[in-house]
Amino acid sequence: MTRKISAHYVFPVNTQPIRNGIIEINEMGEVLQVINPGKKIKEQAGVEFYNGILVPGFVNAHCHLELSNLKDKIPQHTGLHNFVGFVSRFRNTDEEIIRKAIEKADFEMQKNGIVAAGDISNQAISIEQKKKSKIKYHTFIEIFSLNPNLAEEKLLEGKKLLNEFLKHNLDASIVPHAPYSISRELFALLKKQMKKNSLPISMHNQETASENELFIKQSGDLYETFLSWGIKFSDFYPTGKNSLASVIDYLPEENNCLIVHNTFTSKQDIEQANTKLKNIYWTFCPNANLYIENRLPDISLFYRENQNCCIGTDSLASNHQLSVLEEIKTIQNHYPEIPLPELVKWSTLNGAKALNLQGKFGSFELGKTPGINLISGIDYKNMRLTDKSTVKVII
Ligand SMILES: [Zn+2]
């Protein structure tokens, strides 16, 4: 039994939006065909029609299920240097509470039309939920340490955790946390590890101005915070360059690299990164940036520079919800020049490509099972989302 599903617009993503388009799927949700009816919509028998636009299931390129229990715990607008302190203080919560929060967060994402996600993990606690979830996860096993003497030990810990996920048939890869939290020794070992395969990798980047300042002058809020924690910078030396440029040679050239946040990334950073890395996916989590730093990346710059961009929600520690739609509403409100079809592409196909899941997700293409979301509350005249736009999962 097949279904024909239609709406005011269908966004196949791999092609232009189709007015009154029809998607035919089988009982598995596999796309059989996408029909452009022209003016003959009324002649199509047995079509389910919805008010709004139909888009493929969303791909959340960056989240941290592990931090789901921190919802409403951390004050807003305190800056990244304070935020990292809050997170480490709250992490020692009862495991059962964290497990429950992870389950709830996973359901919230499903309800908000997310079908695949890149999830940062420092522990094995999310495995149980990921195994039974409808969401397809790629787990980024994140490691960090500024102590060069601990480099081998940290990588070994990462490999052990990686094997836990692989044992349960979950996709995973080992990745660096951020430019400022990895010693050169650990970065060198990591690069070898990352180059061994073609798996996607991820790194937080330029989330605060003091991250660049640390690398340029070895000073600033982030530096002061780490010093106060007793972290030694004996192995560290200022490079005189922004943080991304300082560590770019430690990232593997061929892997998909999800570079996350980019709140203080310049045009020069973008150009330089592109000369070194072949498959960059700039990942934006605007609501988390507003929560933590009350500032947004220059997302319009990345659009003008024709970069591959993705959307993430980050965690409930720095967001009020886990909704890709809410993220692109925020982008559209601040950068109205970025067209809706482009934002939908970032939220679907680009995320799927970044996570190597484009064979199944990201677009209404023959043979894929991407899921179907209905976005309603659209301003059709300007083809824009409104504050009233909501998402509903159709399949
Ligand atoms: Zn993050």
**Ligand 1 centre from 38 Cα, in Å?**
44
**Ligand 1 centre from 62 Cα, in Å?**
6
What's the pLDDT band for 92 if we cut at 50, 70, 90? Answer: confident
- What pLDDT is recorded for position 226? 92
- What pLDDT is recorded for position 43? 59
**Ligand 1 centre from 360 Cα, in Å?**
25
Query: What mean pLDDT comes out for the span 341-354?
Result: 98
At 357, is the secondary structure helix, strand, or coil? coil
What's the pLDDT band for 361 if we cut at 50, 70, 90? Answer: very high
Cα(11)–Cα(323) distance, rounded to whole angstroms?
19
- Nearest 5°: the CA angle 135, 308, 294 is 80
CB burial readout 187-203, b (16+ within 10 A) else e: bebbbebbeeeebbbbb
Cα(121)–Cα(389) distance, rounded to whole angstroms?
31
**Ligand 1 centre from 179 Cα, in Å?**
13
Query: What mean pLDDT comes out for the span 58-64?
Result: 98
Query: What mean pLDDT comes out for the span 214-230?
Result: 94
**Ligand 1 centre from 394 Cα, in Å?**
29
Judged against a pLDDT cut of 90, whether residue 129 lies above it is answered with: yes
- What pLDDT is recorded for position 91? 77
- What pLDDT is recorded for position 38? 84
What's the pLDDT band for 224 if we cut at 50, 70, 90? Answer: very high
Any alpha helices (H) in the chain, and if so which ranges? 80-90, 95-111, 127-132, 151-167, 184-195, 209-217, 221-228, 243-247, 267-276, 286-292, 299-304, 324-334, 340-347, 349-354
**Ligand 1 centre from 5 Cα, in Å?**
36
- What pLDDT is recorded for position 119? 98
Cα(333)–Cα(89) distance, rounded to whole angstroms?
34
164-217 pLDDT, tens digit each: 999 999 999 999 999 999 999 999 999 999 999 999 999 999 999 999 999 999
End-to-end Cα separation, the chain, in angstroms: 15
Note every long-range contact of 335-338, with CB atoms under 8 Å and residues 24 or more positions apart, other chains counting.
335/299, 335/300, 335/303, 336/384, 337/300, 337/303, 338/299, 338/300, 338/303
- What pLDDT is recorded for position 117? 99
DSSP, residue by residue, 291-345: HHTS----HHHHHHTT--EEE----TTS-S---HHHHHHHHHHH-TTS-HHHHHH
What's the pLDDT band for 42 if we cut at 50, 70, 90? Answer: low
Q: Which domains does the chain have, with CATH numbers?
A: 3-55+380-393 (2.30.40.10), 58-361 (3.20.20.140)
- What pLDDT is recorded for position 8? 97
Cα(161)–Cα(154) distance, rounded to whole angstroms?
11
Query: What mean pLDDT comes out for the span 80-94?
Result: 86
What's the pLDDT band for 157 if we cut at 50, 70, 90? Answer: very high
C-alpha 280: how far from its chain's center?
13
Cα(226)–Cα(152) distance, rounded to whole angstroms?
22
Q: Give counts: helices (H), strands (E), the chain.
A: 14, 15
Lowest mean pLDDT among 15-19, 36-40, 139-143, 360-364: 36-40
- Cβ–Cβ under 8 Å, residues 175 and 140: yes
Q: Which residues contact 9 (CB under 8 A, 6 or more apart)?
A: 17, 18, 19, 20, 21, 53, 54, 378, 380
Judged against a pLDDT cut of 80, whether residue 45 lies above it is answered with: no
Judged against a pLDDT cut of 90, whether residue 63 lies above it is answered with: yes
C-alpha 360: how far from its chain's center?
18
**Ligand 1 centre from 261 Cα, in Å?**
8
Q: What percent of the chain has pLDDT over 90?
A: 92
**Sheet of 256-261: strands edge to edge?**
201-205, 256-261, 279-284, 309-311
At 281, is the secondary structure helix, strand, or coil? strand
Cα(215)–Cα(248) distance, rounded to whole angstroms?
13
CB burial readout 11-32, b (16+ within 10 A) else e: bbbbeebbebbbbbbeeeeebe
- Residue 227 phi, psi dihedral angles, 5° rounding: -60, -45
Tokens of 109: 């994402």
**Ligand 1 centre from 315 Cα, in Å?**
7
What's the pLDDT band for 41 if we cut at 50, 70, 90? Answer: low
164-173 pLDDT, tens digit each: 999 999 999 9
pTM above 0.95, yes or no: yes
Tokens of 236: 């560290």
Tokens of 202: 């991820």
- Nearest 5°: the CA angle 71, 74, 77 is 120
**Ligand 1 centre from 111 Cα, in Å?**
21
Helix pair 151-167, 184-195: axis angle to 10 deg: 30
Cα(124)–Cα(106) distance, rounded to whole angstroms?
16
Q: What percent of the chain has pLDDT over 70?
A: 99
Judged against a pLDDT cut of 90, whether residue 132 lies above it is answered with: yes
